[in-house]
Structure 1
Amino acid sequence: MRHFGRSSAVLVAALAAAVLGAATGCSSSSDDDSSGSGSKNSGRNGKKAAASAARQVGGEGSPCVLPVTFEPAKSWKPKAVEPIPAGQEDHGFNKLLQRGGVRLVCEIDAKPAGNIGFLKVWTGPKSAAGASPRTVLEEYLADEIDELRQTAYRDIKVGDAGLPATEVVYTLYSKLMEETRKQTAVALATPEGPVLFQLGGLDTEEHQEMLPTLELAKKTVRLSTGR
């Protein structure tokens, strides 16, 4: 893991996520004690739900408004990606935002959490809502700049609703860097068009360290409402 502003010799990897279940102790015959415990548990659950909602990306009021909402890992910072307006010199920037049939609309930056890389969200037009997730991934990879060395596709379910999706783990070779690196992408269909999550990283080591945020996004993703 790469951190910033500190010597690597004194860094401590501090990625820990613990979910503690509420312990139910031995119950006495007192109804008041039982209701008090339930009230406390409800309060804790309410605070957890509020904290989770505050971290969600994709809904109205979040930095990126998307066809889906999801929760990124703690400390990762989302930011909308906007194209350079027509008529202004973009130096090829706008072209980089397009890949296959999707466009880059949101980046969740890992640097505040100590890694170099992004969880990127790409979306396609509503007219492509019927495209299969695998087709979306294949068209995306066909436009990859670096050499595609290896791919492994699998069909999965994501989110509480078990939305059908396809995931691909692939390896790229960079002629400039003269090295290979692993990447992962997940695509799903929505009524508003396809959505594709892509997790990169400076190298394979960074990618592996950042995988938990992609797994969290897959676990918490759901279709947006009111768009």
Structure 2
Amino acid sequence: MTKLVLRFIAYGVIVIPLFLLVGLEGYYRILLPKQLPAVSAEPIPTQVRDALWLGCGAKRKHDLHPLFPFIISLFFPQNRPDELLLSRIARIHIGRLQQEGKLPHEKNLKFQLREAAVSTWISRHWTADQAVDTYGSLVWMGSGHRGLQAAARNLFEEKLDNLSHSQVVLLMAMMRSPRSYDPACHPEQALNARNHFLQKMKEAALLDDEELERAISMPLGVSSACEQSK
């Protein structure tokens, strides 16, 4: 009798967690929207990728860690730079679908579960470069512009590939708060934010002393006018 009980306990220890994992994976698939995020077709320069990773807390380029099983993304959200990046992409994508009426506006818990599901899907299907490029094309930059390419054209009348270190870093600073760090409307705040991020790039060995000094000495050099009052 004792052996039989122990055998049932042993089976339970193995089988019950497996059933839970299978159930969670099934729920993950239910949470996924019909329209999944698409990879950006427009790659971004290496220096911009490095700066984006730094903005997510990474000192150098990271790989994506596929989230297996789905439960990992529920209990350990945003504990690595790659997961922070994934959650940002997922949040933007879900918000777009809600605005288009393709998803209902959900309360916090359901929204967080769906965000975790989309983040998990991205981690399993995209590379790190694809994630960074896509985030760079989706991020809100203020003044009616979405994506770094659009912001570069608006602020500097240049393509992203042609920007200097100081110009790229200004875009990174604006991503944190497009309104507060809009260089056309708040040049002093934008300059301070840019220089602070440049220092972080130096500490992360993404810039040397000469590049840092040259970048800090550069003016903001924006060509757009303040549009916040519109």
The verdict on a shared fold, with TM-score over 0.5 as the criterion, is no
TM-score where L is the length of structure 1: 0.24
Which is richer in helix? 2
TM-score (normalizing by structure 2): 0.23
Which protein has the larger Cα radius of gyration, Structure 1 or Structure 2?
2
Bigger proportion of residues as strand: 1
